[in-house]
Chain A
Amino acid sequence: MWKKSRTLGGGMIPLLAAAIAGSFWLLLDPGSTLAFLVWLAAVLLTLAWEGRPRLRWALGAVLLLVVLPMAGMANSFLLELTVQIGIYAAMALGLNVVVGLAGLLDLGYAAFFAVGAYTWAIFGSAQAAAFLGGTFPLPGGYFYLFLFIAVITTALVGVLIGLPALRLRGDYLAIVTLAMGEVVRVLANNLDHPINITNGPQGITPIARPPIGWFSDLLGSVGLVLPAYIWYPLFFYLLVLLLIGLITLVNVRLSDSPLGRAWVAIREDEVAARAMGIPLLRTKLMAFATGAAFSGTMGVVFAAKQLFVSPESFTLVQSILILTMVILGGMGSIRGAIVGAALVTVLNLQVLKSLSEYLNVLRQSGAVLDLGFWRYDLSALPTQLEPAKYERLVFGVILVAMMIWRPEGLLPSRRASLELHQGE
């Protein structure tokens, strides 16, 4: 039986309260981290809520398209942060196809992100001239074209990596994708010689950004006059929102399509799926290529936003980061992937960092903790103790805890929650 309360079907009043409180607070005090968290909670609750579709859409639109851009004009860091969340959310959606739908544990997912990012980084900077000659960087307008080129190149790389890897059974696949992810990183790190393709560990910079004259004109034509420094953050924010929308749409359509059902069938029982006439390798390759393509597109956006890429951004930790998002949200759950991405990103970029800063303040205050029986001089806090660097610990705890207590994730897909709690 479906219990409504489990899916927050009845929570309209707390939702509205959070939305209104978060919005006003954020608009009044755009610099407040807490206000941002309340706003984010409102967005995620809107996403998780299952009642009144129209109200939900309206609320989501106001929160995302009105409140945040307005607050972002006062504090452009908010836009930066949401763009980061958005990029991760899009990647989590991509990995969700591979891990959640098709049940293929890919531990080298950051490799596709790297391929996408380097695709634009190499041609959108002077780097390509180093091995091709000619005049580079390409004009910024090519950025839009490269969004699509990256889809093709990363999907191809996905197929290339997948062809050997996907013949293997589940647990070997995890190790091989992990290895492939490392290979891509090592290549990015070392292909500065004999031919300089990636510029090695120094990375590539500056990377061209798309010209957004049309965007500021558009804003001007509807009567918005904004300071120039806000154009790019706002542009990337809206672009990422648009891409997430697109990717979500593709995700939804795919998971209801024959291909999506074939993925689920393979996930559930490979042998039975094959007996039903599903071509295993081809279907798995499709999952790999789809996930890779999403990741690659976001790589292009990432490269243009950061103006800089280096192998450091595409490590195993990145792959596990995205995996953690998918697991936290719920394997196979589209809304879950977005929620997971938001929570993990905020934890990683905001909470841990704030803790680090707080510890630093404590350290410098020179205060002494006195519990009567035990005194501790806070300035003696070890400098190696920096919560911002303990991301692996956090991911590890999340992964293990979720697997033990709630393997279906925070916002489970209907099928997963039924399956994992059979007979309870």
Chain B
Amino acid sequence: MDWQIILDILPSVLLEGLLLGLVYAMIALGYSMVYGVLGLINFAHSEVFMIGAVAGAEVMIGCVHAGPAAALVLALLAGALVSGMLAVLIERVAYRPLRRRASKVRLVPLITAIGVSFFLQDAARLYLGLVHDDFYRVYPNFELLERTMDLPLQATIQGKGIVLMGVAALMLGVLWFLVVRTPMGRAIRAVAQDREAASLMGIDPDRVITRTFFLGGCLGGVAGVLFGLLYTQINPYSGFFPGIKAFTAAVLGGIGSIPGAALGGLFLGVLEIMGGTYLPLVSDGNIGTEYKDIFAFAVLIAILLFKPSGLLGRGHVEKV
């Protein structure tokens, strides 16, 4: 084992982890916000992310002659809109009828969410099969986005990496502004705190919930397009692992907390890339990258056991 190698590649490993982490952070916010207002783990959010990525791919392939900037902007817009509307649709069709009935059985919404998630995976597959007679979509290559730039410490970054960082930072900033500084954000926070009291203050919870789903969906869709840019290929099952890792990130940071979700996402992204790169090196290839997907699970289990409220979350006392 060579410590020098490990040290040499550290900057690029960290950078790659940071990029992946930003994607996780954006997805994690969708889980976190929905959990905040509904107390529901929206399993279908990973598919909202995936469908955003597919929509982005479609638009980008369609606009391939319009140049990288236009194609990128349109793809991001399409991803955000399609995912946002899809999330709202899911809430209307699947979750709202359950809320109306106010069933006491807690498993009901959760099982519905799993059903929606499975349904959407194959619905996307059906779409790809019917329209393209294919199983996946590939993001087009733009020279500008592929070009690499040298950074200090032998690290390099591609054009799309810079785009990813910029867009992600912008989205996180906008979201923070919306939630913390606008009346809509205040309404969302109020519903998250106490739905009944909020509705007594003249807030329509259903409207707030719809908006929350839309915002979360938009973020997920943009994350999907960025993820597609980074890893180029998207298939109907691409959402599963990023989804579950992002959920882990949300729990890690403290579910319901926006900075927490961002922090958790970054941490997991860096952890995953570091583990995937270094474990084979450290173990002489005996333990390989194939275990990278289960780091997130190990983190999830550890955090739930030792600090269930997450890094930045507040403790939760169940009142009877």
Contact = CB atoms under 8 A, between A and B. Distances in A.
A217 B135 CA distance: 52
B111 A399 contact: yes
Contacts of A382: 129-130, 133
Contacts of B109: 403
B294 A397 contact: no
B248 to A, nearest CB: 8
B110 A164 contact: no
Interface string B275-306: 00000000000111011011011001100110
Interface residues of B, number: 53
A392 interface: yes
Interface in A301-357: 316, 320, 323, 327, 331
A318 B287 CA distance: 27
Given A164-B305, A175-B41, A396 B290 contact: no
A80 B51 CA distance: 38
A190 interface: yes
A183 B244 CA distance: 13
Given A178-B244, A186-B294, A384-B129, A396 B106 contact: no
Given A105-B110, A190-B290, A396 B122 contact: yes
A170 B114 contact: no
B163 to A, nearest CB: 31
Contact of B115 (A316, A391, A395): A395
Interface in A152-200: 164-165, 167-168, 170-172, 174-176, 178-180, 182-183, 186, 189-190, 193-194
Interface string A86-112: 000000000000010001010100000
Contacts of B128: 384
B7 interface: no
Contacts of A369: none
A182 B106 CA distance: 24
B54 interface: no
B305 A167 contact: yes
Contacts of A271: 318, 320
A371 to B, nearest CB: 18
Interface string B4-42: 000000000000000000000000000000000000110
Interface string B121-156: 111011011100111000000000000000000000
Nearest to B300: A179
Nearest to B240: A316
A390 interface: yes
A218 interface: no
Contacts of A183: 294, 297
Contacts of A13: none
Contacts of B67: none
A115 B320 CA distance: 39
A201 to B, nearest CB: 10
B105 interface: yes
A145 interface: no
A78 B220 CA distance: 47
Contacts of A386: 129
A256 interface: no
B66 interface: no
B209 interface: no
A398 B305 CA distance: 33
B115 A398 contact: yes
Contact of A393 (B105, B123, B287): B123
A407 interface: yes
A404 interface: yes
Nearest to B97: A404
B133 A400 contact: no
A61 B320 CA distance: 50
B60 to A, nearest CB: 21
A107 B129 contact: no
Given A176-B301, A189-B290, A105 B122 contact: no
Interface string B157-191: 00000000000000000000000000000000000
Contacts of A390: 122, 125-126
Interface in B70-112: 94, 97-98, 103-112
Contact of B103 (A175, A189, A407): A407
Given A327-B111, A385-B126, A393 B301 contact: no
Contact of B244 (A103, A179, A189, A400): A179
A384 B133 contact: yes
Nearest to B44: A396
B293 A400 contact: no
Interface in A264-278: 271
A180 B94 CA distance: 27
A383 interface: yes
Nearest to A405: B97
Given A183-B297, A420-B103, A403 B111 contact: yes
A390 B129 CA distance: 11
A370 interface: no
A397 B297 contact: no
Sort A-B residue pairs by CB-CB distance and give the 10 closest, nearest first: A396-B119, A399-B115, A384-B129, A393-B122, A396-B118, A179-B297, A382-B133, A400-B115, A392-B118, A403-B112
Given A179-B296, A320-B118, A323-B111, 12 more contacts: A103-B106, A174-B110, A176-B301, A323-B114, A382-B129, A384-B129, A385-B126, A390-B122, A390-B126, A392-B118, A392-B122, A393-B119
Interface of B: 40-41, 94, 97-98, 103-112, 114-123, 125-126, 128-130, 133-135, 240, 244, 247, 251, 286-288, 290-291, 293-294, 296-297, 300-301, 304-305, 308, 318, 320
Interface of A: 99, 103, 105, 107, 164-165, 167-168, 170-172, 174-176, 178-180, 182-183, 186, 189-190, 193-194, 271, 316, 320, 323, 327, 331, 382-386, 389-393, 395-400, 403-404, 407, 419-420
29 contacts: A105-B110, A165-B301, A168-B308, A170-B106, A172-B308, A174-B110, A176-B300, A179-B297, A182-B297, A186-B294, A320-B118, A382-B133, A384-B133, A384-B135, A385-B126, A385-B129, A391-B122, A393-B118, A393-B123, A397-B115, A399-B114, A399-B118, A400-B94, A403-B111, A403-B115, A404-B94, A404-B98, A407-B105, A407-B108
